[in-house]
């Protein structure tokens, strides 16, 4: 019973420890969350628990694009109104959602499941490259858009994919990198500014 | 199937909606959390769900101090090694934990369950004042420390409690308010600076 707590708050402590494993959630935030669950109607914790239990039961990977879905193929792959000749390559399933929310793209997706990061021990073998190559080789795709983050890992992976896809009859493009809309030259970092110069377009 | 999502990610959407009700968790954080749960081993979501279901079943309010506990009375109230003549009044159960972690206080606690906030419709009737008065009236308490936040609501509640307890034979004190240790005069706000002057101590 040292410090006055001892066995008294075990359920709360256990919940706090589990919550603090969520990325971006520190010990303090986890504790605040746990107290919120306690202060709130038990029905809230129950529905959260139910949804957590339902999550992996309901959601699987789409066998075509690798995105998360409740149906296989996913609604995007199954949508005959979309353009199957353009394939957008993304790192994670959540990137599919972000791009969908922009309503800018009407083709299909391929989720890589990661980026090449030698320091983290992630090589090409860890990515869904076989699936990507298979889809491109089976024909009907005229453009592959690499929608990877403009980071070291994203750049490395993009270069690798350009080489890999270069042997096939397909155009490989990459999302433009440069100043964010509404941004200020003053606050742009040197690399972003440099990219926006190299990628400048006729006006 | 508008936007390409439609029914495809319902379990994920439902989880995101529930998570975004946690204070301080916006739509984006909730979505990131939901994807983390999906990306992680299902065992993690299951243990989180189990702990959530166990929470309200295991934890109740201590019938003496009002803090959260698995046993009644709570380990602090049951600890005969503590000084029962000093009562520390706090707003919420988590304040008990914060004060315990400082290892500065060896008396007992009383949780008010809120602060007087007329604009939010919280008056003295909503606080555990009967419990506090009962404990003081039953004797044996020589000091009541008001450990309430130095906010408008905390100040209002402290003034109210001072008046209420003033009729009883007990010393009423309040935690010192002033410059945080390691802080800088330059960054102290006017009110904090003013309080640190008024509360200055002989050196």
- Summarised one tens digit per residue, pLDDT across range B7-59 is 445 899 999 999 999 999 999 999 999 999 999 999 999 999 999 999 999 99
SS3 A28: helix
Domain-embedded: residue B196: yes
Domain-embedded: residue B23: yes
Please tell me whether residues A75 and A49 are part of one structural domain.
no
Contact A7 B94 (CB under 8 A): no
Confidence tier at A202 by pLDDT (50, 70, 90) = confident
Please tell me whether residues B121 and B46 are part of one structural domain.
no
Show residues of chain A in contact with B35, CB under 8 Å: 68, 92-94
Tell me, what's the pLDDT at B16? 95
Contact B29 A24 (CB under 8 A): yes
Q: Which of B8, B58, B71 sits opposite A71 (nearest CB)?
A: B8
Closest CA to A111 of A124, A130, A97, A92: A92
Please tell me whether residues A189 and A108 are part of one structural domain.
yes
Whether the predicted pLDDT of A9 surpasses 70: no
For chain A, give the percent of residues with pLDDT over 90: 71
Q: Which of B58, B86, B102 is the last residue of a domain?
A: B58
Q: From the CA atom positions of chain B, what is the Rg in Å?
A: 22
Q: In this predicted model, which residue has the larger pLDDT, B171 or B199?
A: B171
Tell me, what's the pLDDT at B173? 93
Confidence tier at B6 by pLDDT (50, 70, 90) = very low
Q: Which of B6, B52, B76 sits opposite A75 (nearest CB)?
A: B6
Whether the predicted pLDDT of B95 surpasses 60: yes
Confidence tier at A150 by pLDDT (50, 70, 90) = confident
Please tell me whether residues A32 and A87 are part of one structural domain.
no
Please tell me whether residues A49 and A108 are part of one structural domain.
no
Q: If you measure CA to CA, which chain B residue comes closest to A55?
A: B11
Please tell me whether residues B87 and B163 are part of one structural domain.
yes
Contact predicate B92/A49, CB 8 Å = no
Domain-embedded: residue B66: no
Show residues of chain B in contact with A68, CB under 8 Å: 9, 12, 35, 38
Tell me, what's the pLDDT at A4? 39
SS3 A184: coil
Instruction: For tokens 């075509």, name the residue.
Output: A64
Domain-embedded: residue B63: no
Please tell me whether residues A179 and A85 are part of one structural domain.
yes
Show residues of chain A in contact with B53, CB under 8 Å: 45-46, 49
Tell me, what's the pLDDT at B188? 80
Q: In this predicted model, which residue has the larger pLDDT, B28 or B199?
A: B28
- Here the CATH number for the domain that contains residue A186 is 3.40.1360.10
A138's tokens? 């089976």
Please tell me whether residues A78 and A30 are part of one structural domain.
no
Q: If you measure CA to CA, which chain A residue comes closest to B32?
A: A94
Q: CB neighbours of A116 closer than 8 A, spacing ≥ 6? A: A122, A123, A124, A127, A153, A156, A157, A160
Contact B52 A53 (CB under 8 A): no
Per-residue DSSP letter, A91: S
pTM of the entire predicted model: 0.80
SS3 B173: strand
Please tell me whether residues A110 and A190 are part of one structural domain.
yes
Half-sphere exposure of B48 (CA within 13 A, CB side): 33
What does the pLDDT average to over B175-186? 82
Return the biggest CA–CA distance within chain A. Answer: 72
Cα–Cα distances in angstroms (integers) from residue B150 to residues A36, B42, B113, B183, B199, in the given order: 22, 44, 16, 17, 13
Domain-embedded: residue A103: yes
The CA distance from B186 to B41, in Å, is: 48
Task: Write out the residue range of the structural domain in which residue A35 sits.
Answer: 2-58
Number of domains in chain A: 2
- Interface confidence, given as ipTM, is 0.82
Contact B58 A10 (CB under 8 A): yes
Whether the predicted pLDDT of A5 surpasses 50: no
Please tell me whether residues A165 and A92 are part of one structural domain.
yes
Distance from CA of B122 to the nearest CA of A (A): 16
Q: Which of A20, A35, A58 is the last residue of a domain?
A: A58
Q: Which of B31, B58, B85 is the last residue of a domain?
A: B58
Over the range A140-154, which residues count as b (16 or more CB within 10 Å of their CB) and which as e?
A: ebeebbbbbbeeebb
Q: CB neighbours of A112 closer than 8 A, spacing ≥ 6? A: A66, A89, A90, A91, A127, A128, A129, A132, A148, A157
Domain-embedded: residue A65: no
- Here the CATH number for the domain that contains residue A42 is 1.10.8.420
Distance from CA of B151 to the nearest CA of A (A): 19
Cα of first residue to Cα of last residue in chain A, in angstroms, is 72
Please tell me whether residues A130 and A188 are part of one structural domain.
yes
CB pairs under 8 A between A and B: 177
Domain-embedded: residue A150: yes
Distance from CA of A31 to the nearest CA of B (A): 9
Tell me, what's the pLDDT at B167? 87
Confidence tier at A24 by pLDDT (50, 70, 90) = very high
Tell me, what's the pLDDT at B74? 94
Q: In this predicted model, which residue has the larger pLDDT, B74 or B178?
A: B74
Domain-embedded: residue A112: yes
For chain B, give the percent of residues with pLDDT over 70: 96
Please tell me whether residues B95 and B119 are part of one structural domain.
yes
């Amino acid at each position: 019973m040292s410090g006055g707590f001892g066995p008294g708050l075990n359920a709360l402590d256990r919940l706090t420890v589990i919550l603090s494993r969520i990325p971006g959630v520190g010990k303090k935030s986890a504790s605040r969350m746990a107290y919120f669950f306690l202060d709130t109607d038990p029905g809230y914790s129950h529905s959260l628990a139910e949804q957590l239990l339902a999550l992996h039961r309901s959601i699987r990977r789409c066998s075509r694009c690798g995105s998360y879905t409740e149906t296989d193929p996913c609604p995007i792959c199954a949508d005959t109104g979309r353009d199957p000749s353009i394939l957008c390559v993304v790192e994670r399933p959540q990137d599919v959602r972000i791009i969908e929310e922009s309503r800018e793209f009407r083709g299909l997706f391929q989720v890589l499941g990661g980026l090449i990061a030698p320091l983290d021990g992630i090589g090409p073998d860890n990515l869904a490259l076989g699936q990507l190559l298979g889809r491109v080789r089976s024909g009907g795709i005229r453009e592959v858009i690499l929608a990877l983050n403009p980071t070291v890992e994203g750049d490395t992976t993009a270069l690798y994919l350009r080489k890999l896809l270069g042997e096939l009859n397909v155009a490989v493009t990459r999302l433009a990198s440069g100043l964010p809309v509404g941004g200020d030259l003053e606050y742009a970092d040197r690399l972003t500014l440099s990219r926006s110069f190299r990628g400048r377009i006729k006006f």
